[in-house]
């Protein structure tokens, strides 16, 4: 099992939060968990051991979220979807 998706999810979290101390640990059972820190003391475990898909969803929902970009075309399309009463 490849962990590329998990690594990419952690990198996105680092970018969103501006904190480079997030990392992941992969267990012998091919499960993943998120940790914070590790510089001076023991890293803080932020999640339990999760399967790949569940871990990626957890990390993508963790920390600050990037606001979705909305264009003028998106707004116009949404207005067309709403029925006028």
Instruction: Specify the pLDDT at position 40.
Output: 72
Q: Given a cut of 80, is residue 84 above it in pLDDT? A: no
Tell me the pTM: 0.72
Q: Is residue 85's pLDDT more than 60?
A: no
Phi, psi of 48 (to 5 degrees): -80, 170
- Measure the CA dihedral 46/41/21/19, to 10°: 90
Domain count, the chain: 1
β-bridge partners, 50: 32
Percentage helix, strand, coil for the chain under 3-state DSSP, each rounded to 5: 40, 15, 45
**Is residue 48 exposed (0-12), middle (13-18) or buried (19+ Cβ within 10 Å)?**
exposed
Confidence class for position 68, pLDDT limits 50, 70, 90? confident
Q: Which domain holds residue 27?
A: 4-81
């Amino acid at each position: 099992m490849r962990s590329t998706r998990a690594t990419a999810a952690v990198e996105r979290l680092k970018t969103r939060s501006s904190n480079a101390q997030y990392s992941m640990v992969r267990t012998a059972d091919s499960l993943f968990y998120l940790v914070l820190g590790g510089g001076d003391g023991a890293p803080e475990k932020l999640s339990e051991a999760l399967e790949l898909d569940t871990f990626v969803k957890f990390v993508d929902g963790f920390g600050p979220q990037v606001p979705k970009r909305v264009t003028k075309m998106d707004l116009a399309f949404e207005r067309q979807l709403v029925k006028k009463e």
